[in-house]
Amino acid sequence: MKSFRKELWFEIPTRRSFVNITGQVEQALGESGIRDGLVLINSMHITASVFINDDEKGLHQDYEKWLEGLAPHAPVDRYLHNRTGEDNADAHLKRQVMGREVVVALTAGRLDFGPWEQIFYGEFDGRRRKRVLVKIIGE
Q: Which of 8, 12, 29, 89 binds its own copies (CB under 8 A)?
A: 89
Can you tell me the distance from the alpha carbon of 7 to that of 42, in angstroms, rounded to the nearest whole number?
10
Peptide bond preceding 75 in cis form (omega within 30 of 0): yes
* Under rule CB under 8 A, residue 76 binds its own copies: no
**Of 49, 13, 19, nearest to 124 (Cα)?**
49
The interface mask with its own copies, positions 36-75, x = CB under 8 A, is xxx-x-xxxxx----xxxx-xxxx-xxx--x---xx----
The residue ranges that bind its own copies (CB under 8 A) are 1, 3, 5, 36-38, 40, 42-46, 51-54, 56-59, 61-63, 66, 70-71, 79-84, 89, 92-93, 95-105, 107, 112-117, 131, 133, 135, 137-139
